[in-house]
């Protein structure tokens, strides 16, 4: 009986030792992951600093709006500036009005549903700008929460934003505050939902009246 008790005690001690070792290994793995993530962030920050230093556009924006740049990226010589939604009006006007930048043309604006791409639970509004005067381009990216998908219109800065913003509203439900006529532009009256959102049903969810119209090809 004593031998059985001793064996059970030894087994319990071994199990405890294994559990402790597993916890230590898990803690070390977590520490290694955190260190790796920290190194990656530092590397990205250094890369951003280099881009800002080499890019006249990024340097001027950072100089004019310290702290407004949330991220800077460059891919195949295409510059992307990530900014907060509260800065979209002031930065847009600066990009248009500064003589060296002179971004007088908004060539495109679109929405992106990032809810299944990362843990941000956000939409992204992407602005593609071009300077006819200086022949250079820049891309702006602004993240907005899905729970409150509102951002200021830029129709007062670039007239071409009008229909682009209406399309983003139609497809994603992004509300551009101050837009002169924020109505659907691609889907018909009575259309329910926003078809480019990830939570939109694959088969749609339209009223029977609309289904009749589609079926008859009207």
Residue ranges of domains in the chain: 55-216
Chain-centroid distance, C-alpha 67? 18
Query: Which whole number is the average pLDDT over 85-110?
Result: 98
Query: Which whole number is the average pLDDT over 94-112?
Result: 98
- Given a cut of 60, whether residue 63 has pLDDT beyond it is yes
CATH number of the domain located at residue range(s) 55-216 in this protein: 3.30.460.80
1 pLDDT band (50/70/90 cuts)? low
Higher pLDDT, 188 or 214: 188
Range among 12-26, 131-145, 190-204 rated most confident: 131-145
Q: Is 165 exposed, middle or buried (0-12, 13-18, 19+ CB in 10 A)?
A: buried
Query: Which whole number is the average pLDDT over 202-209?
Result: 68
How many angstroms separate the CA atoms of 202 and 195, rounded?
A: 9
**Percent of the chain, pLDDT > 70?**
88
Higher pLDDT, 89 or 217: 89
What is the enclosing helix (H) or strand (E) of 142?
strand 136-145
pLDDT at 131: 98
Distances (CA, A) of 214 to 82, 100, 113, 187, 195: 40, 50, 26, 12, 16
Provide the 3-class DSSP secondary structure of residue 84.
Answer: coil
pTM of the full structure = 0.76
Q: Tokens 């059985």, residue?
A: 4
159 pLDDT band (50/70/90 cuts)? very high
pLDDT digits (tens, 9 = 90+) for 110-157: 999 999 887 779 999 999 999 999 999 999 999 999 999 999 999 999
Residue whose C-alpha is closest to residue 122's, from 67, 165, 82: 82
In eight-state DSSP terms, residue 153 is -
Which residues are CB-neighbours of 132 under 8 A, at least 6 positions away?
A: 102, 104, 105
User: Measured between alpha carbons, how far apart are the two ends of the chain, in Å?
Assistant: 89
pLDDT at 190: 83
How many angstroms separate the CA atoms of 177 and 91, rounded?
A: 17
How many angstroms separate the CA atoms of 32 and 198, rounded?
A: 34
Q: Contact 128/139 with Cβ under 8 angstroms?
A: yes
pLDDT at 34: 83
84 pLDDT band (50/70/90 cuts)? very high
């Amino acid at each position: 009986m004593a031998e059985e008790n001793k064996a059970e005690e030894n087994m319990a001690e071994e199990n405890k030792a294994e559990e402790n070792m597993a916890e230590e290994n898990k803690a070390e793995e977590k520490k290694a992951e955190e260190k790796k993530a920290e190194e990656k962030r530092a590397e990205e920050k250094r890369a951003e600093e280099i881009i800002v230093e080499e890019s006249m556009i990024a340097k001027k924006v950072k100089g004019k709006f310290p702290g407004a740049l949330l991220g800077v990226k460059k891919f195949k010589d295409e510059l992307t500036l990530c900014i907060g939604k509260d800065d979209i009006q002031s930065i847009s006007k600066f990009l248009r009005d500064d003589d060296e930048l002179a971004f007088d043309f908004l060539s495109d604006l679109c929405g992106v549903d990032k809810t299944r791409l990362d843990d941000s639970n956000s939409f992204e509004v992407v602005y593609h700008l071009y300077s006819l005067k200086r022949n250079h381009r820049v891309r702006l990216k602004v993240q907005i929460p899905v729970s409150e998908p509102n951002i200021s219109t830029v129709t007062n800065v670039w007239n071409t934003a009008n229909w682009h913003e209406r399309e983003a509203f139609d497809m994603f439900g992004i509300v551009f505050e101050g837009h002169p006529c924020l109505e659907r532009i691609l889907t018909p009256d009575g259309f329910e939902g926003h078809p480019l959102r990830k939570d939109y049903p694959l088969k749609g969810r339209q009223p029977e009246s609309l289904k009749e119209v589609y079926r008859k090809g009207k």
